[in-house]
């Protein structure tokens, strides 16, 4: 540009020539450096920092600092050459970076173990001697980032480990174990706390006969249900045997704590039942004896023959009252009284004659409850008026198992599951009326449980635990349905 304070340029022809001005990058590089940082495993990255050096002319160049590490990046030292190092990211809204030679320095990100240690704690447990170990449990805390770290618990104690209290560091204590399929445990400190296993001593198993009761009476030919309750504190029974005197009666049906066996065809006379039990460690016990008596026939008695009452004069028949007592705990379906020695008379109200066709009998088809006495009346026709001198043979009628017992359907109030898979039924009864409980798996085929239930009036309960009341335990079938039948009052 020309300066002409005297205004003399008009005297000249002026020619101007331009020159080129070259502006080069600053000779000092722009240095952007990320500061190194650290954080624990499982936490978010902190706010990273750094420095920018040699920035000129207040150029609006800024930097932020970032790392690719995430919360579940494992414990590591991530130096400047690694993917998870701390790198600067520059912002240059005015395009000034071209004026500089840029040098960037990455920072080191150190990821340390998690602040809180993993704490795995075994829960104390107990069992009795010779029992298997229970399923041990415990707690696991402070696992981060959804890491698939799980805990199990074990003890070296066996069935034969003596009774005692086993606390850490005993090998029989409850020891925690960690499972780490993805190799994440290195990100944590671990605190493992063992549990105490207490093994209690055991007593011999206890056993008692609950059926029949001592002093019971049965009849020749009756099935007798033997049932015992066996309780073993170690929970493992090796064998249960029923005895009649010293004779082993066979293998019982097992539905712990109940064991049952039905015996048949025992001879008349005295019998002594006992149960012997052995557990898996050889401890034995024998129940108290239960004495029963088996009779050849039912007890009975008869009145004198009525030959001179108004009824005799009106009918022309002689009458005799006859009592039959059921001394057994079993409800009899009925009784038959065979009348022998009638050489000069006929049994006028005979129901029929025996298989030989010679001995008449009177049969009562109603139930005779255990302990009950049934009164019958015998009628004689005596053409010559002499007084008969009969003798008697009393037979009992065994229970049958009708597929469809005739009777009126009665509602069952409640059916409830019970311990050991049993089912408990509640229903309202009429005193001295007879009921059949029937059961089915398909609502088509019905079986009748025997003996019949005799109403006592009010609500009664009946439990189905399987044989001998029903063919199988309820738990052995997918479904079991029940219905109740009230039999006719006659």
CA atoms within 13 A on the CB side of 94: 8
Tell me the CA distances in angstroms from 130 to 154, 162, 168, 199, 280, one per residue in order.
17, 9, 21, 9, 8
What span, in angstroms and rounded, lies between the C-alpha atoms of 31 and 8? 54
The superfamily in CATH containing domain 206-295 is: Immunoglobulins (2.60.40.10)
CATH 3.40.1030.10 fits 300-397, yes or no: no
C-alpha torsion 6→9→10→16, nearest 10? -160
CATH code for residues 30-112: 2.60.40
User: How is residue 204 annotated by DSSP?
Assistant: P
CATH topology agreement for domains 118-200 and 408-486: yes
Tell me the CA distances in angstroms from 123 to 9, 142, 143, 204, one per residue in order.
108, 17, 19, 29
Q: What is the pLDDT of residue 270?
A: 97
Q: Sort strands 481-486 and 408-410 into parallel, antiparallel or unpaired.
A: antiparallel
Q: Is 475 helix (H, G, I), strand (E, B) or coil?
A: helix
Strands of 309-372 (E only): list them.
318-325, 334-340, 346-347, 352-353, 360-364
Q: What is the pLDDT of residue 401?
A: 43
Token pair for 34: 């990320």
Phi, psi for 460 (deg, rounded to 5): -120, 160
What span, in angstroms and rounded, lies between the C-alpha atoms of 50 and 108? 12
Q: Is 199 helix (H, G, I), strand (E, B) or coil?
A: strand
Of how many residues is the chain composed? 490
Domain boundaries, the chain: 30-112, 118-200, 206-295, 300-397, 408-486
- Residues 449, 426 contacting (CB under 8 angstroms): no
Q: Residues 6 or more apart from 479 whose CB is under 8 A from it? A: 441, 442
User: How is residue 313 annotated by DSSP?
Assistant: H
What span, in angstroms and rounded, lies between the C-alpha atoms of 402 and 231? 36
Nearest to 156 by CA among 139, 168, 138: 168
Element (DSSP H or E) covering residue 363: strand 360-364
Q: Residues 6 or more apart from 13 whose CB is under 8 A from it? A: none
Q: What is the pLDDT of residue 424?
A: 87
Residue with tokens 């970076």: 97
State CA 446 to chain mean position distance. 28
CA atoms within 13 A on the CB side of 322: 25
Q: What is the pLDDT of residue 473?
A: 79
Token pair for 409: 């359907």
- Residues 448, 403 contacting (CB under 8 angstroms): yes
- Residues 69, 84 contacting (CB under 8 angstroms): yes
C-alpha torsion 5→7→11→12, nearest 10? 50
Residue with tokens 């981060």: 144
State CA 476 to chain mean position distance. 14
* Domain at 118-200, CATH from 1.10.287, 3.40.50, 1.10.3470, 2.60.40: 2.60.40
What span, in angstroms and rounded, lies between the C-alpha atoms of 16 and 10? 15
pLDDT tens for each residue of the chain, 490 residues long: 888 898 888 888 888 888 888 888 888 999 999 999 999 999 999 999 999 999 999 999 999 999 999 999 999 999 999 999 999 999 999 999 999 999 999 999 999 999 999 999 999 999 988 789 999 999 999 999 999 999 999 999 999 999 899 999 999 999 999 999 999 999 999 999 999 999 988 788 899 999 999 999 999 999 999 999 998 866 678 899 999 999 999 889 988 899 999 998 899 999 999 999 998 778 889 999 999 999 999 999 999 999 998 878 877 889 999 999 999 998 888 889 999 999 889 998 887 888 777 899 888 876 788 999 988 888 899 999 999 999 999 999 875 444 456 789 999 999 988 766 878 899 999 998 989 999 999 999 998 876 578 898 999 887 786 654 666 779 888 999 999 999 988 6
Q: What is the pLDDT of residue 22?
A: 81
Tell me the CA distances in angstroms from 376 to 254, 321, 327, 441, 468, one per residue in order.
42, 6, 17, 41, 32
What span, in angstroms and rounded, lies between the C-alpha atoms of 110 and 104? 19
Judge if the upstream peptide bond of residue 169 is cis by omega within 30 degrees of 0: yes
Q: What is the pLDDT of residue 468?
A: 44
Q: Sort strands 346-347 and 269-279 into parallel, antiparallel or unpaired.
A: unpaired
Q: What is the pLDDT of residue 404?
A: 52
Would you say the C-alpha torsion 227, 233, 239, 244 has a positive or negative sign?
A: negative
CATH 1.25.40 fits 408-486, yes or no: no
Q: Sort strands 481-486 and 50-53 into parallel, antiparallel or unpaired.
A: unpaired
Tell me the CA distances in angstroms from 131 to 200, 231, 382, 471, one per residue in order.
10, 14, 76, 32
What span, in angstroms and rounded, lies between the C-alpha atoms of 123 and 175? 10
Tell me the CA distances in angstroms from 215 to 218, 249, 271, 292, 396, one per residue in order.
10, 19, 10, 5, 20
């Amino acid at each position: 540009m020309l300066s002409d304070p005297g205004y003399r340029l008009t005297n000249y022809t002026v020619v101007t020539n331009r020159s080129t001005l070259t502006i080069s990058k600053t000779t000092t590089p722009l240095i952007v450096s990320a500061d190194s940082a650290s954080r624990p495993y499982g936490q978010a990255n902190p706010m990273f920092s750094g420095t920018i050096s040699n920035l000129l002319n207040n150029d609006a160049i800024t930097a932020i600092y970032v790392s690719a590490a995430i919360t579940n990046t494992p414990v590591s030292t991530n130096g400047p050459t690694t993917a998870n190092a701390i790198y600067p990211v520059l912002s240059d809204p005015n395009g000034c970076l071209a004026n500089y030679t840029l040098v960037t320095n990455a920072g080191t990100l150190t990821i340390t173990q998690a602040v809180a240690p993993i704490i795995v704690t075994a829960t104390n447990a107990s069992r009795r001697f010779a029992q298997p170990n229970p399923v041990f449990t415990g707690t696991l805390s402070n696992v981060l980032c959804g890491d698939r770290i799980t805990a199990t618990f074990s003890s070296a104690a066996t069935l034969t480990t003596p009774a005692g209290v086993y606390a850490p560091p005993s090998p029989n204590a409850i020891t925690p174990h960690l499972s780490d399929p993805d190799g994440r445990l290195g990100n944590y400190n671990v605190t493992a706390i063992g549990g105490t296993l207490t093994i209690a001593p055991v007593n011999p198993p206890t056993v008692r006969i609950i059926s029949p009761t001592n002093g019971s009476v049965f009849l020749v030919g009756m099935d007798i249900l033997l049932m015992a309750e066996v309780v073993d504190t170690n929970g493992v029974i090796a064998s249960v045997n029923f005895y009649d005197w010293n004779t082993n009666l066979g293998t019982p049906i097992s539905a712990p704590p109940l064991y049952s066996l039905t015996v048949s065809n025992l001879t008349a006379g005295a019998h002594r039942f006992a149960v012997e039990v052995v557990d898996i460690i050889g401890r034995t016990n024998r129940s108290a004896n239960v004495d029963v008596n088996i009779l050849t026939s039912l007890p009975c008695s008869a009145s004198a023959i009525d030959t001179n009452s108004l009824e005799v004069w009106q009918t022309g028949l002689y009458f005799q009252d006859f009592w039959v007592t059921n001394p057994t705990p079993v409800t009899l379906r009925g009784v038959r009284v065979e009348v022998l020695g009638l050489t000069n008379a006929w049994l006028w109200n005979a129901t029929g004659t025996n298989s030989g066709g010679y001995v008449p009998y009177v049969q009562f088809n109603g139930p005779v409850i255990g302990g009950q006495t049934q009164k019958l009346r015998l009628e004689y026709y005596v053409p010559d008026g002499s007084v008969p001198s009969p003798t008697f043979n009393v037979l009992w009628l065994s229970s049958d198992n009708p597929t469809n017992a005739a009777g009126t359907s009665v509602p069952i109030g409640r059916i409830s599951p019970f311990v050991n898979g049993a089912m408990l039924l509640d229903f309202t009864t009429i005193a001295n009326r007879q009921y059949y409980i029937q059961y089915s798996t398909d609502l088509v085929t019905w079986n009748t449980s025997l003996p019949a239930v005799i109403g006592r009036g009010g609500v009664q309960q009946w439990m189905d635990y399987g044989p001998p009341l029903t063919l199988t335990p309820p738990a052995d079938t997918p479904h079991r349905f029940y219905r109740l039948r009230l039999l006719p009052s006659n």
